Structure 1
Amino acid sequence: MAYDDPATFATKAKAFLADGLAQGLQVRYVSAGSSDEIADLREWLLGELAPDRADAVHIESVRGTYGVGHVVSGVKQVAAYAAATSAALAAGFAGLRVAADATPLVVTPAQLDAFARYEHQIDRYMIGHPFSAMCGYDRAVLGADAVAELACMHPVSNARTMFRWHAAESGVALAGEIDRSVQTLFRKALRRTDLAQGEPVDIDVAGLDFVDHHAIVELDELGRQHQARIVLRNPGYLVARIVQLMNLDFVGVGESA
């Protein structure tokens, strides 16, 4: 979620976590706010929504959890949330829900690159596990371009992006429109996706409304880097025709798997 006022994110996070508590989930809020703000939020969540289970709500600070200047390890962070989800289930909750103001974790180019990679990895984990999360990004601090690099890695976001490249049950999904104006952004998104070397990749493109040949070349290069056959599933006529007309080594089209 992109926001322009921290209070806006706090309000959305409160509603998101309250909904999780109503579903029987354990909830966690990672805040960039002051210790007083964190204490007030925990008191409200417990007092109003979970007065009988103190372990239903965990509130942490970004600074206290990660420190200053931390570059997130996607593998370690996914493992940490997987362990926390398992612990929540063992404690009798239906799963785990997290709201985090991630702004302090993406202020440098290295942080942004690492966190965008992590976003794809955690989305992949969420598909098959009772874990959900909402991350907040302050546009005033990060700028619209940085927010777009993160937003395009999710199926849903309030930040407008021309395309979405995200984890899906089929493997990966690509939706929206891709032309030369977003080629650099698209290339970054592809490079931030971990693919198994040599294993075929299915990409659901049912929601892809427009793509030019430059983007198809980028997909072919992705396949080349991983020595992996890339199959575009459920393509529209335009996508299928472009692929058929190009001499590609690693990209092909196919029906629903």
Structure 2
Amino acid sequence: MGHGDHLCLAFDDDAEKRRVATRYTADGLIRGERVLYFADRSDPDTVREWLHAARIDVAGASARGQLRVVTADETYLAPGVFDPDTMVRRLRAEIGASLDAGYTGMRVTGEMDWALREVPGSERLREYETKVNEVFVGRPASAICHYDARLFGPDALAAFDDCHPRRVELTPLYSTSVLRIVPSFQEGQRTLRVSGSVDMQTADRLEEALRATRAWPGDVRIDMRDLEFIDLTGLRVLVRTADSLDDGRRLRVEHLPEMLCKVIHLAGLDRSPALIVTSSEEVMAR
């Protein structure tokens, strides 16, 4: 991340959220930035424990004012109602105060679960996420907003994701110069992104990653828009995975190059009712 960034972290694993928040906070402190953590579902003491476990000098950073861990009630909801314009003004003031105090910039990271408590003004959260983009653009500041996919539905998750210029990439299930497999949330739905090449040497890695998706609810989506090559061995992995799904679930392979879609059809691999293959052109035409 760099100055000016405003990212969305969609997650459904508390360990993943902790990893991202801890790394983001630690990097900011190392770079001489001031860090504000707005907690909600995680109480401030728990957040401090995470940071302490990561060998961050929580006491020292807090004492000199470089680190503040506060609650949503003390920040987003301090007036008793959520008002986007009030919060935007507050963030601008915090950036200015951080620079005046000699810090190289400011980082903000916040848990957004409070918006689900039906507090007055919470329906304006999308408005806030859109407006706050201008707070960070061109300024020595950045932010990551946490959205728990177990609490926010797919439609809400997609809407809030769209308000952010970028998203946090989750920990890859497999990553080399040849093949990269990364879980993500796209359009508010859990998705596996596959990029690079799948052949006899890497097909087992793809199959291993796909086994992890069996615990996902609903259909399994795979985004292959960045796939460069997949051989017959890899295609058979997709078929086996689709056939292994139960309860009427399907494996949806999306953004596959048109030529590969034709290969699958000619080889008869699309006969499985559990395998749905769509090209980029078909996805865009929806």
> What TM-score, normalized to structure 2?
0.50
**How far is the alpha carbon of 1:110 from its aligned partner?**
7.1
**How far is the alpha carbon of 1:34 from its aligned partner?**
2.5
| Secondary structure, aligned partner of 2:144 | strand
**How far is the alpha carbon of 1:69 from its aligned partner?**
11
**How far is the alpha carbon of 1:139 from its aligned partner?**
1.0
Residue 187 (structure 2) pairs with residue 161 (structure 1): yes
Counterpart position of 2:28: 20
Counterpart position of 1:38: 47
Q: Is the 8 A contact 1:97 1:133 kept in 2?
A: yes
Q: Is the 8 A contact 1:72 1:105 kept in 2?
A: no
Deviations 1:132-184 (A, max 9, x none): 1000011111111111110011221253139xxxxxxxxxxxxxxxxxxxxxx
Decide which structure has greater strand share: 2
| Secondary structure, aligned partner of 1:16 | helix
Counterpart position of 1:181: none
Q: 2: distance between equivalents of 1:39 and 1:154?
A: 27
Counterpart position of 1:103: 113
Counterpart among 3, 9, 32 of residue 17 in structure 2 = 9
| Secondary structure, aligned partner of 2:160 | helix
Residue 146 (structure 2) pairs with residue 136 (structure 1): yes
Deviations 1:76-111 (A, max 9, x none): 111101111111101100111011111222454975
Q: Rate the CA distance shift 1:79–1:68 in 2: closer, same or farther, 3 A.
A: closer
Deviations 1:15-52 (A, max 9, x none): 11112122221001111212430342454578448947
- Structure 2 unmatched ranges of 5 or more: 1-8, 169-184, 189-286
Deviations 1:192-233 (A, max 9, x none): xxxxxxxxxxxxxxxxxxxxxxxxxxxxxxxxxxxxxxxxxx
| Secondary structure, aligned partner of 2:186 | coil
Counterpart position of 1:123: 133
User: Which structure would you say has the larger RCO, counting Cα contacts within 8 Å and 6 or more residues apart?
Assistant: 2
Q: Is the 8 A contact 2:107 2:143 kept in 1?
A: yes
Q: Is the 8 A contact 2:34 2:66 kept in 1?
A: yes
Counterpart among 69, 90, 93 of residue 59 in structure 1 = 69
Q: 1: distance between equivalents of 2:78 and 2:11?
A: 21
Counterpart position of 1:29: 37
RMSD: 3.0
Q: Is the 8 A contact 1:71 1:110 kept in 2?
A: yes
- Structure 1 unmatched ranges of 5 or more: 163-257
Q: Is the 8 A contact 1:73 1:114 kept in 2?
A: yes
1:74-223 aligned at under 5 Å gives the runs: 74-106=84-116, 108=118, 113-158=123-168, 159-161=185-187
Give the aligned residue type for 2:150: A
Which has the larger Rg?
2
Residue 83 (structure 2) pairs with residue 73 (structure 1): yes
| Secondary structure, aligned partner of 2:146 | strand
Q: Is the 8 A contact 1:24 1:94 kept in 2?
A: yes
Q: 1: distance between equivalents of 2:35 and 2:91?
A: 12
Q: 1: distance between equivalents of 2:36 and 2:53?
A: 13
Q: 1: distance between equivalents of 2:39 and 2:139?
A: 24
